[in-house]
Amino acid sequence: MEEETLSLLDKQDQSDLKENKLENEATARISSKALRGLWNRKGGKIRVPPIDNPDKVDNACEYLQEICDCAKITVVYTYVPANSQGMICCFAELSTLPPHVIKSQLSPNLASARKDAARRCILFLKAMSSTTPCLNYSEWFSASPDNYLK
């Protein structure tokens, strides 16, 4: 009879189990919050202006900078030589939480790599700032005309 009333776990194991459960719940809350939008360092939701101006995408770097200034985030570009043919890849890091790094397609020069990374950042911000985030994959994977100029 006494064995039936004894707990299967001692007090320390019960405490550890409860701590693990709380940590898992906190991680799940943080993950679901990250998927609901873009966040700044202070934990506030980033407000991105409407991104519906196709004329400005021709000058993607300036347009992205306008969007970042309005949303109070920053973008940092990093360039990496991608292969022996001299192709370059650009990584654009947005100062959101969690940080988002967007990679350009392989490009023959720095300017076209940067423009493609900026174009993809604009597409990403447009998708994430909508009420129902959905990335337009045909635009995302479309080749930038600059990539064919050599």
- pLDDT score recorded for residue 144: 58
Helix (H/G/I), strand (E/B), else coil: 103: strand
Q: How far apart are the first and last CA of the chain?
A: 85
Pick from 140, 96, 95, 92: nearest CA to 113: 92
- pLDDT score recorded for residue 51: 74
Which residues, given as ranges, of the chain have pLDDT below 50?
A: 1, 145, 147-150
What are the percentages of helix, strand and coil residues in the chain, rounded to 5?
A: 50, 15, 35
Helix (H/G/I), strand (E/B), else coil: 101: strand
- pLDDT score recorded for residue 113: 94
- pLDDT score recorded for residue 148: 36
- pLDDT score recorded for residue 133: 74
Rounded Cα distance between 101 and 134, Å, is 18
Token pair, residue 57, equals 């995408």
Q: What is the pTM of this model?
A: 0.69
Rounded Cα distance between 103 and 92, Å, is 6
- pLDDT score recorded for residue 1: 45
Rounded Cα distance between 103 and 150, Å, is 20
- pLDDT score recorded for residue 20: 73
